[in-house]
Amino acid sequence: MSKLQPYKLVNLGRQLKTPVLVRVDINLPASHGEIEEDALRMRVYGHVLEMYSDYAGLVVMSHQGRKGGDDFTSFAPHCETLRKLLPDDMMVEFVPYEKIFTEGTKKKIKGLKRRQILLLDNMRYFEEEKKWNAENNTYVPFFKGVIQSCVNDSIPTWHREDSSLMCLPYIAPTWIGLRSSYELRILQEVINSKEPKALIMGGAKIQKVADLIKIAKTGVDIFTGGLPGQVIAKSRGYDLGEANNKFLAKKFSAEDFGEAKKLDSLLEEHGGHGLRHPIDFIVDDGGVRKSVRLEDLPKSKGEIRDIGPETLETYAAALQEKPLRIRAGPLGVYEKGFQNGLELTKRISGDGLIFLGGDTSQELNAAGLLGHIEDSGGRICISGGSFLHGWAGGSFPPIDSLVSLQAPLVLDSSP
């Protein structure tokens, strides 16, 4: 993580002056172009925005879709979802992307009052969102002098340099928001803790190897599932069966498998901390679910959908010995009813369990386990990749910029 700077906690509500530009992260899980309306990330920011709006009128911006991808969607559905979450007496108005940088929108911003929100459309529609240029951009000259305060409450995207993140301190006095400061304190707790830790890594991609090496050096065992578990097993020479081999070949490059091998050897070299992959899997073989041991996969035509029962038992036994258990990414295809990753969650619940990321929290949400986790002492963060990046010692460019332009850094306590 970036070198810690001096900061003070303030009552953020007393600092906000209408209109306030708030950067959040409502990049929600989506299927066939439709967002998950009950996503935890939207509910979290719905509550936070309601609290901010008690003090000032808000202009809210975020993004949807992958950086460099082409899966951008309008925020019109996000606005409808936000309206459902907020009280009926609050105004929430959507501004389509073609109308954002217009005099009409500027007039609306100037006229904002408390408990009024303007939700700007998906900032990924703008080409300059991809690359920040402090000297030449549209955002700063449009908002500067109109916006009176800024709040960066987008910790899931802090590891990026998107223009909508970087521009805030150039526009007006900027604070770190409620949710971000909460998750930042959890991150600092994980970094500073000397207790044994475990990272349970699933999902559909592998975190940067350089980050994982740095995390492992802090004394962490890594338990893999999902596609990372398959890639690690494959990189160790296991044959996962024709269907799974073909899928992994389409999903990952030879370089990815080389990086997995590098991770394996370097983890052993630097500290000797374990890197585990599943020893059995649940596969879907023509609509029939079967439990298949890793070494028997070449005989099976089934496609891997979840960790198997033996993996569940061995992982649970080992993880119960770890005071800090950080889970990032689903271990199976929970959307289709594969539940062993969720069963593992129940086995390792309690104080010290931390969940990371939108997909991970959505898995809990879909299974009705959010209350189960929080009531038993666990914590759920909406940041995922940025949390791991910070844990590995990586910088947060939007916060580095804020620190360089404004000192001391200010975190909020409560509005």
- Angle formed at CA 192 by CA 196 and CA 5, multiple of 5 degrees: 165
| Chain CA centroid to CA 109, Å | 29
Q: Specify the CATH class of 7-183+394-412 in words.
A: alpha beta
pTM for the model: 0.89
Q: Is the peptide bond before 19 cis (omega within 30 degrees of 0)?
A: yes
Tokens for 210, please give them: 């350089």
Helices 242-251 & 226-235 angle (0-180, nearest 10): 100
- Where do the domains of the chain lie? 7-183+394-412, 187-391
In tens digits, what is the pLDDT along the chain, a chain of 415 residues?
A: 445 555 666 778 788 999 999 999 998 877 666 777 778 899 999 999 999 999 999 999 999 876 544 556 889 999 999 999 999 999 999 999 999 999 999 999 999 999 999 999 999 999 999 999 999 999 999 999 999 999 999 999 999 999 999 999 999 999 999 999 999 999 999 999 999 999 999 988 776 777 887 888 777 889 999 999 999 899 889 999 999 999 999 988 888 888 777 777 766 665 545 789 999 999 999 999 999 999 999 999 999 999 999 999 999 999 999 999 999 989 999 888 999 999 999 999 999 999 998 888 888 888 888 888 989 999 999 999 999 999 999 999 999 999 888 865 555 555 4
The values of phi and psi at residue 345, to 5°, are: -55, -45
Q: Would 7-183+394-412 and 187-391 be classified into the same CATH topology?
A: yes
Distance, CA of 268 to chain centre: 28
Report d(CA 23, CA 398) in Å as an integer: 11
- Burial classification of residue 85, based on how many CB atoms lie within 10 Å of its CB (0-12 exposed, 13-18 middle, 19 or more buried): middle
In words, the CATH class of domain 187-391 is alpha beta
Alpha-carbon gap, residue 79 to 82, rounded angstroms = 5
Task: Work out the end-to-end distance of the chain between its first and last CA atoms, rounded to an integer number of angstroms.
Answer: 27
DSSP SS3 for 224: strand
